[in-house]
Structure 1
Amino acid sequence: MNAGIVSLVLAYVLSQFYRAFLAVMSPELQISIGATPADLAAASGVWFLVFACMQIPIGELLDRIGPRLTSSVMFAIGGAGGAAVFAMASAPWHISVAMGMIGFGCAPVLMASYYIFARAYAPAVFATLAGVTLGIGNLGNIGSSLPMTMAVEAFGWRGTMWALAAATLIIAVAAFFFVRDPERAEGSASGSVLVLLKKPVIWPILLIMMVNYVPAAGIRGLWAGPYLDQVFGATAATIGGVTLVMSIAMAAGNFIFGPLDRIIPSRKAIVLAGNVAGVVSVGLLAVFAGHSVFLSAVLFALVGVCGATFVVIIAHAKTFFPEHLMGRGVTLLNLFGIGGVGIFQSLSGRVYNGVSGGLGPVDTYQVLFGFFGAALLFGCVVYAFSRDGRNEG
Structure 2
Amino acid sequence: MSAAEPAAASGPPATATTAADAPVVVRREPPGGRGAWTAWGIGVTVYVLAVVHRTSLGVAGLDAAARFGINASALSTFSILQVLVYAGMQIPVGLLVDRYGPRRILSAGLVLLTAGQLGFALATSFTPALLARGVLGCGDAMTFVSVLRIGARWFPAFRNPFIAQLTGLVGTIGNLVTTLVLSQVLHSAGWTPTFGTTALFGVVVLAVVVLGLRETPDSAPRESLFARRAGGGPAGGAGGAARPAGFSLRDQIRVSWREPGTRLGMWVHFTTAFPASSFLLLWGMPFLMNSQGMTRAEAGGMLSLVILSGMGFAVLFGQLMSRRPGLRTPTVFAVVLGTGSVWAAVLLWPGGGGHVPLWLLLLLVVVMGSNGPASLIGLDYARPVNPPERVGTASGIVNMGGFIAAVIALFLIGFVLDLATPGGGTDYTPAAFRAAFATLYAPMALGLFQILRLRARALAREREVALSGGARNCATSHPAR
Q: Which deviations, in whole Å up to 9, do the C-alpha atoms of 1:61-94 show, x marking residues without a partner?
A: 1111111111112221x10001110110101333
Q: Aligned pair 1:391/2:475, yes or no?
A: yes
Whether contact under 8 Å (1:138, 1:247) holds in the other structure is: yes
Q: Which deviations, in whole Å up to 9, do the C-alpha atoms of 1:121-148 show, x marking residues without a partner?
A: 3332211101111101101111111321
SS in 2 for 1:42: helix
Whether contact under 8 Å (1:264, 1:270) holds in the other structure is: no
| Aligned residue in 2 for 1:353 | 418
CA distance in 2, matches of 1:35, 1:17: 23
Q: Which deviations, in whole Å up to 9, do the C-alpha atoms of 1:14-62 show, x marking residues without a partner?
A: 2222222222212322333324433221101111111111112211211
Q: Aligned pair 1:317/2:402, yes or no?
A: no
Q: 1:200 to 1:247 in 2, by over 3 A?
A: closer
CA distance in 2, matches of 1:297, 1:335: 29
Whether contact under 8 Å (1:215, 1:307) holds in the other structure is: no
> What amino acid does structure 1 have at the position aligned with 2:419?
G
Q: 1:213 to 1:83 in 2, by over 3 A?
A: same
1:218-229 correspondence to structure 2 within 5 Å? 218-229=278-289
Whether contact under 8 Å (2:82, 2:136) holds in the other structure is: yes
Between Structure 1 and Structure 2, the one with more helix by share is 1
CA distance in 1, matches of 2:82, 2:294: 27
| Aligned residue in 2 for 1:110 | 144
SS in 1 for 2:376: helix
> What amino acid does structure 1 have at the position aligned with 2:132?
A
SS in 2 for 1:240: helix
- Using the TM superposition, name which of 336-345 and 358-367 deviates more: 358-367
Q: Aligned pair 1:68/2:124, yes or no?
A: no
| Aligned residue in 2 for 1:291 | 356
CA distance in 1, matches of 2:441, 2:210: 41
| Aligned residue in 1 for 2:201 | 167
SS in 1 for 2:98: helix
Identity percentage over the alignment?
22
| Aligned residue in 2 for 1:382 | 450
Q: Which deviations, in whole Å up to 9, do the C-alpha atoms of 1:354-384 show, x marking residues without a partner?
A: 3344997222222222211342233123313
> What are structure 1's unaligned runs of at least 5 residues?
none
- Using the TM superposition, name which of 35-44 and 7-16 deviates more: 35-44
SS in 2 for 1:185: coil
> What amino acid does structure 1 have at the position aligned with 2:297?
A
| Aligned residue in 2 for 1:245 | 305
Query: CA shift at 1:294, angstroms?
Result: 4.8
| Aligned residue in 1 for 2:241 | 185
CA distance in 2, matches of 1:239, 1:36: 21
CA distance in 2, matches of 1:163, 1:247: 23
TM-score norm. by structure 2 comes to 0.76
Whether contact under 8 Å (2:265, 2:380) holds in the other structure is: no
CA distance in 2, matches of 1:188, 1:232: 59
Q: Aligned pair 1:304/2:366, yes or no?
A: no
CA distance in 1, matches of 2:205, 2:244: 28
Q: 1:170 to 1:188 in 2, by over 3 A?
A: farther
Whether contact under 8 Å (1:20, 1:217) holds in the other structure is: no
Tell me the number of residue pairs that the alignment of Structure 1 and Structure 2 aligns.
392
CA distance in 2, matches of 1:123, 1:271: 22
Whether contact under 8 Å (2:264, 2:451) holds in the other structure is: yes
Q: Aligned pair 1:98/2:132, yes or no?
A: yes
Q: 1:85 to 1:269 in 2, by over 3 A?
A: same
| Aligned residue in 1 for 2:187 | 153
CA distance in 2, matches of 1:364, 1:100: 28
CA distance in 1, matches of 2:428, 2:280: 22
* CA RMSD, 1 decimal: 2.4
Equivalent position to 1:85, from 114, 119, 124: 119
Whether contact under 8 Å (1:45, 1:342) holds in the other structure is: yes
Equivalent position to 2:65, from 14, 21, 30: 30
Which structure has the larger Rg over C-alpha atoms? 2
Whether contact under 8 Å (2:39, 2:215) holds in the other structure is: no
CA distance in 2, matches of 1:80, 1:46: 17
CA distance in 2, matches of 1:205, 1:315: 7
Whether contact under 8 Å (1:210, 1:336) holds in the other structure is: yes
> What are structure 2's unaligned runs of at least 5 residues?
1-35, 217-236, 463-473
Query: CA shift at 1:201, angstroms?
Result: 4.4
1:356-375 correspondence to structure 2 within 5 Å? 356-357=421-422, 361-375=429-443
SS in 1 for 2:214: coil
Q: 1:276 to 1:294 in 2, by over 3 A?
A: closer
CA distance in 1, matches of 2:364, 2:54: 21
Q: 1:91 to 1:106 in 2, by over 3 A?
A: same
Q: Which deviations, in whole Å up to 9, do the C-alpha atoms of 1:305-349 show, x marking residues without a partner?
A: 244212211012211212211111111111223233223323332
Q: 1:368 to 1:257 in 2, by over 3 A?
A: farther
| Aligned residue in 2 for 1:341 | 406
| Aligned residue in 1 for 2:395 | 330
